[in-house]
Structure 1
């Protein structure tokens, strides 16, 4: 065999390996006799969105997610994740397929770890999953029209951290379903984080609010139906590219929005920083442009830096630990996820009975504001004869 023939065989082998590991189903649907695994993906009809396995950052975990087609947005931008809390480690032995009328993700051990979770009465016929150009993954009865028929299940009813045009934020009083945005834990962990965006749960006011667990820290202000703006978002009075709408009746209340120019690629993201970000894609510079974010000041995000952490608006890194403390979870801090707070690295003198250096335990922080709802406690410290040695005023949340 001559050298030219060998080179040809090597090239043919490489091409076959490439085709084996980079397969696209060449369709926007997953039918009952199809499955998705490895590097296989489905792409919406207009090549707007793509769905398949992805790995965030340097993580070793894989997830089923949805992102903008690379033909449209060159930067990988995940907009929805199915198995947020149950990743897989091997995408080639994990499978997404239709099973018993549901869309189900099976891991390496062939164990179902995520499902659309519909009852057998709901999915009496053959089902198929279709990815729409809106970014909505729809499970429907095979042969029905995805644009006109009622879906069996849709990803728009189960948002992750991104609010796409046409999707809803609100709640349904009949199904007791709440549609909220929830941040990722970190840039490498799409599991539900601390921060959420939702419609006023009391239903008495039409406005959006941010929460850190059970603590509200920002509000969009009341909705003005005539001007179609939120009172707390002055940017909407400017050259605004969005058209918001609010619907409320006895069954449901929700906000949705569209983009005036359908060619504009845009999204709202509940970021790991606790801020909502309104982003538009700039094709010329191949990057996302931040139109506005709220709350404007990063340090307004409640408990952003965690216990014994401090927030600095003018610093490149928002959070730092108080003197004598260090990050409790350094890897999370490297990923700008600070909520784990800080731990003590210098022992208290009052914890060391043999200490004789005469130093007192104290905090000295200049130009700092205390957290909200602080309590002032005067604590007396005693020696073995129960005589007061000194007093210290401690502020706690």
Structure 2
């Protein structure tokens, strides 16, 4: 495999004789005519060895010959051409510029902009809007609610093949926004929603001296972004061909990448392992148990370590409002929020009352845990993908029948 074009900054896009970081409409960059059979326009770290690729333009359309060239058209569209000047890939921007230039920034972002325009909000096109398998500092993973742009990571097919693989990491906004790892259409792991401090499903990722993580949600866009505290550090997140999110940090002394973190980390991070109303605890054997007030739906399957059917209430709910209330469960990875409703300004009492009055409301929790808590999440239907944490989990209040509440209170008295 060989990336064959470029422009120099901290990053490189293929090798040419003169170092530069800007391509104008009168220039083109031609293939270095090296030996690999599959040829790509790609970006890698300039000074790090071995070569570390972070982005490909034509990852699913490799060139099979040495006649490739990258050029910038007059209207500001990057075009990769192949044999007989056929178009292999283009940036396909809907906007145009009168004096376009393409520039590789020190962030690793390849941008097309007007020659006199440096405001990122006005870039005509940027590679950061089209991620491959790598998340770099200041890149976004999420979606734009106005343009419809969906920013997600897609794994390589294999460690030697950068074409699109089976795994994706993306933001789902069908309820309270949350991040999923998928193999094809199937969810393999759920990172969860942002609770103001961290993602609810990965509380072990804590403040550190290397990078910060934040989640932005507004009427225009929802996205996760991380920034370096020390810009001399190199760090990247990749989605591996076998479906893991891994963060690496470059160690100068050893001249190598060091693995900093991996997600998923254990068996309890398999999505919905314990079924509806089931709860996973990695410190228990077996991992799966039923939440307090629930029993296995099918005991025979459950006892044979098939937990997929989950759990049901010991006492079914009766008529709505007939003494029903909520049991508190602490230290929890909150359930899948696709069947949820949320409000960022409600207080705890309002959240309780709204769920209690809605006969379809299964559970509720505080949305933002900072400063004593604010906001409200309501769940409707079954609760899926619950996990128990030793620390940094959250409280959730699950609807129970009146008789079950009495039993619980008596057992605690």
TM-score range, shorter chain: 0.5 to 0.7
Q: Which position in structure 2 is the counterpart of 1:271?
A: 240
2:44 pairs, out of 51, 67, 75, with 67
Do structure 1's residue 116 and structure 2's residue 87 form an aligned pair? no
Q: How does 1:1-397 map to 2 (within 5 A)?
A: 23-39=16-32, 60-69=37-46, 71=47, 73-90=48-65, 92-101=66-75, 102-119=77-94, 122-141=95-114, 143-147=115-119, 150-202=122-174, 204-225=175-196, 228-237=197-206, 239=208, 241-297=210-266
Provide runs of 4+ in structure 1 moved above 4 Å: 297-302, 368-373
Instruction: Give deviations 1:293-329, integer Å, cap 9, x for gaps.
Output: 1112499778xxxxxxxxxxxxxxxxxxxxxxxxxxx
SS in structure 1 at match of 2:116: coil
Partner residue in 1 for 2:287: none
- Secondary structure in structure 2 of the residue aligned to 1:229: coil
Partner SS for 1:272: coil
| 1:79/1:160 contact within 8 Å kept | yes
Q: 1:252 to 1:149 in 2, by over 3 A?
A: closer
Q: Deviations over 1:17-39 (max 9, x none)?
A: xxxx9633421011111111123
Q: CA RMSD in A?
A: 2.8
Aligned residue in 2 for 1:339: none
Q: 5+ unaligned residues in a row in structure 2: which ranges? A: 1-13, 272-303, 310-413
- Superposed CA deviations along residues 29-83 of structure 1, whole A, max 9, x for unmatched, are 111111111239xxxxxxxxxxxxx98xxx62011000001x2x22211000000
Higher RCO by CA contacts (8 Å cutoff, separation 6 or greater): 2
The alpha-carbon deviation at position 89 of structure 1 amounts to 1.8
SS at match of 1:223: coil
Q: Secondary structure at the match of 1:39?
A: coil
Distance (whole Å) between structure 2 residues aligned to residue 64 and residue 288 of structure 1: 23
TM-score, length basis structure 1: 0.61
Contact conserved, 1:138 with 1:146, CA < 8 A, in 2?
Answer: no
**2:192 counterpart SS class:** coil
1:118 Cα deviation after fit: 2.3
- Write the deviation string for residues 171-229 of structure 1: whole angstroms up to 9, x where unpaired: 11211110000001112221111101111232x3243210111111112233221xx32
Residue 240 to residue 200, structure 1, CA distance change in 2 (3 Å)? farther
Other structure's SS at 1:230 match? coil
User: 1:299–1:33: structure 2 CA closer, same or farther, 3 Å change rule?
Assistant: farther
Q: Deviations over 1:220-254 (max 9, x none)?
A: 233221xx322322432364632111111122111
Q: Is the 8 A contact 2:97 2:124 kept in 1?
A: no
Consecutive unaligned residues of structure 1, counting only runs of 5 or more, are 1-20, 41-53, 303-367, 374-397
- Secondary structure of 2:85 counterpart: coil
Q: How far is the alpha carbon of 1:255 from its aligned partner?
A: 0.9
